[in-house]
């Protein structure tokens, strides 16, 4: 929980700076859309970066105010009567999340299939890309961070894009194009590799600010107007900072409607966090596993503190997490740095930050959206067959036109239907035999291994002692879900070697395009059926050996 490493400080600082630039307008935009004070979004961003960043054991996840909660927050503030009373519900929701963490409710995330998670990520990428097109043209009707396809005024993402052609601001377009050129050049051209410690996003933002300053100094009509710039609340000094903070009204703690809002926030924020943690682990190039139960505890503490000092509720957020990973973050120090940068910016340089054009930030988010929804990902799932592609594309489309939770629910239902059909045709069982200290581990897979077995296999691989020798045998398997294949391949290629584990694969080559590796040795057979009792005993023995 407290394992903060400074070994990769340079790359983590660079990534934290990029996440800070992305998070700043998102925090403000989500607060505005929620009908809350703008500063409440910044508080949630600071708490998500520093508090959740310290307590979480995720290396790449970034937390903050989430677009998925805006409708709930807006409705709750109106129905409860004041923002101060709503803050009581935020504190209570944090307490409930803390309890869920201790009850190990986070384990539910292990049952989200990879094609649904990847579909969710691609869907969010499509939303981000489409939503930034109007901002790139200088049309800022929607707030930064808006993820909804349609609104109650009859507008939707497509009509907003079409409307933006009627409100084109050529100065904004110039800034967007220059920012995109900088970002692409920084990422692709070998010459700029020598400046890799300076993030391209920072250079793009500085270029946008300089261009806009030139327009202003020359009196050009291309100058970007104030409502197309970042709008961070400005205090007259540190002594006036307290005037921006709202305190909860605990006299309303006995009201039933406050508790109903708290339960709603707990459920939605927890599910979104679990989905985003699972997505972050998928995106992590080092394939490290995060404890979702620890994450729920961290989110609970973060929401308690955020609510106590006037902040919005928070979750782990895909956009900021993706920006963090794409910027080269190695440890959770990057998340913590972004939180401190938010805090420092509020105290010292709000007027400078208010010179950042939204068009430059739109360019950064366009790149993030494209990487999340890369067409190559669609092609990859198409090549894996209909049982992988249909849940993936259904989740993608549903996330775009509805919201994250509904989209994932639709993808889950389709995946479960396919798995139930498969399980009717093939039996799936394992059994466990004893093992002795010092022996190698032999894991033999059964005929049918579905994504429902991913959780148990993931836990088993995660608790194998360092410097062990492991053989995974699929000789008798006729079907292994792509989720499990991805998990095993990542463990063989990255996760195992990182912990000094020698991994031998057997029986994968002919059917699953994974090469067999190594020579068979004397092993203790662990034919694991992963039933609750056997799995618990098996993992318990592993854990005891490493305590």
Element housing 524 (H / E): strand 523-526
Query: Does 514 score more than 80 pLDDT?
Result: no
Give the pLDDT score at 200.
Answer: 87
User: Distance of CA 544 to CAs 104, 501, 516, 540, Å?
Assistant: 20, 18, 31, 6
Cα–Cα nearest to 279, from 366, 407, 379, 177? 407
Which residues fall within 8 angstroms of residue 202, CB to CB, at 6 or more apart?
A: 17, 18, 21
Residue 461: pLDDT band by 50, 70, 90 thresholds?
A: confident
Give the pLDDT score at 435.
Answer: 47
Q: What is the pLDDT of residues 104-155, one digit of tens each?
A: 998 888 888 889 999 999 999 999 999 999 999 999 888 777 888 887 677 8
Give the tokens for residue 160. 């907003």
Residue 517: pLDDT band by 50, 70, 90 thresholds?
A: low
pLDDT (mean) for 163-189:
91
Query: Does 95 score more than 80 pLDDT?
Result: yes
pTM score, whole prediction? 0.78
Contact 51, 360 (CB under 8 A): no
Give the tokens for residue 123. 């869907």
Higher pLDDT: 531 or 441? It is 441
Q: What is the pLDDT of residues 21-45, one digit of tens each?
A: 999 999 999 998 899 998 999 999 9
List of domains in the chain: 9-358 (no CATH), 440-546 (3.30.750)
Give the pLDDT score at 518.
Answer: 54
* Three-class HEC string of 389-405: HHHHHHHHHHHHHCCHH
Q: Count CA atoms within 13 Å of residue 125 on its CB side.
A: 22
d(CA 365, CA 183): 11
Residue 537: pLDDT band by 50, 70, 90 thresholds?
A: low
User: Distance of CA 458 to CAs 420, 443, 454, 487, Å?
Assistant: 21, 13, 6, 7
Cα three-residue angle 427-431-436, rounded to 5 degrees: 155
Q: What is the pLDDT of residues 341-374, one digit of tens each?
A: 999 988 888 889 999 999 999 999 999 999 999 8
């Amino acid at each position: 929980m407290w394992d903060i490493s400074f070994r990769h400080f340079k790359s983590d600082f660079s990534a934290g700076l990029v996440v800070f630039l992305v998070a700043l307008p998102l925090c403000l935009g989500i607060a505005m859309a929620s009908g809350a004070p703008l500063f409440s979004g910044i508080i949630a961003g600071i708490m998500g970066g520093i508090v959740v960043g310290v307590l979480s054991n995720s290396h790449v996840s970034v937390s903050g105010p989430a677009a998925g909660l805006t409708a709930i927050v807006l409705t709750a503030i109106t129905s409860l009567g004041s923002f101060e009373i709503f803050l009581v519900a935020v504190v209570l929701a944090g307490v409930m999340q803390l309890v869920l963490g201790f009850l190990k409710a986070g384990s539910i995330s292990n049952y989200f299939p990879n094609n649904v998670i990847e579909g969710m990520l691609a869907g969010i990428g499509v939303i981000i890309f489409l939503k930034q097109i109007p901002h790139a043209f200088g049309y800022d009707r929607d707030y930064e961070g808006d993820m909804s396809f349609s609104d109650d005024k009859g507008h939707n993402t497509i009509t907003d894009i079409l409307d933006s052609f009627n409100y084109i601001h050529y100065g904004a377009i110039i800034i967007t194009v220059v920012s995109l050129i900088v970002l692409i050049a920084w990422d692709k051209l070998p010459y700029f590799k020598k400046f890799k410690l300076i993030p391209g996003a920072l250079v793009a933002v500085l270029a946008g600010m300089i261009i806009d300053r030139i327009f202003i100094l020359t009196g050009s009509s291309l100058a970007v107007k104030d409502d197309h710039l970042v709008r961070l609340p400005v205090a007259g000094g540190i002594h006036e900072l307290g005037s921006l903070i709202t305190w909860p009204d605990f006299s309303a703690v006995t009201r039933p409607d406050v508790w109903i809002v708290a339960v709603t926030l707990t459920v939605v924020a927890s599910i979104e966090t679990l989905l985003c943690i699972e997505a972050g682990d998928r995106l992590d190039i080092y394939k490290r596993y995060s404890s979702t139960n620890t994450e729920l505890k961290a989110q609970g503490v973060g929401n308690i503190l955020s609510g106590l000092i006037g902040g919005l509720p928070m979750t782990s957020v895909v956009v900021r997490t993706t920006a963090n990973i794409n910027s080269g973050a190695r440890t959770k120090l990057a998340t913590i740095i972004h939180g401190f940068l938010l805090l420092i910016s509020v105290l010292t340089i709000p007027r400078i930050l208010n010179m950042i054009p939204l068009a430059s930030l739109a360019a950064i988010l366009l790149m993030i959206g494209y990487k999340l929804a890369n067409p190559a990902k669609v092609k990859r799932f198409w090549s894996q067959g209909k049982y992988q592609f249909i849940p993936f594309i259904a989740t993608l489309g549903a996330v775009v036109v509805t919201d994250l939770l509904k989209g994932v629910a639709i993808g889950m239902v389709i995946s479960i239907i396919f798995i139930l059909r498969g399980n009717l045709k093939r039996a799936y069982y394992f059994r466990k035999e004893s093992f002795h200290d010092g022996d190698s581990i032999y894991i033999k897979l059964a005929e049918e291994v579905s994504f429902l077995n991913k959780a148990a296999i993931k836990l088993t691989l995660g608790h194998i002692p360092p410097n062990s020798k492991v053989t995974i045998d699929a000789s008798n398997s006729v079907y292994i879900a792509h989720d499990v294949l991805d998990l095993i391949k990542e463990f063989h290629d990255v996760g195992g070697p990182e912990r000094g584990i020698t991994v031998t694969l057997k029986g994968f080559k002919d059917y699953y395009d994974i090469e067999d590796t190594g020579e068979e040795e004397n092993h203790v057979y662990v034919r694991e059926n992963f039933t609750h009792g056997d799995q618990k005993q098996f993992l318990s023995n592993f854990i005891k050996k490493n305590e």
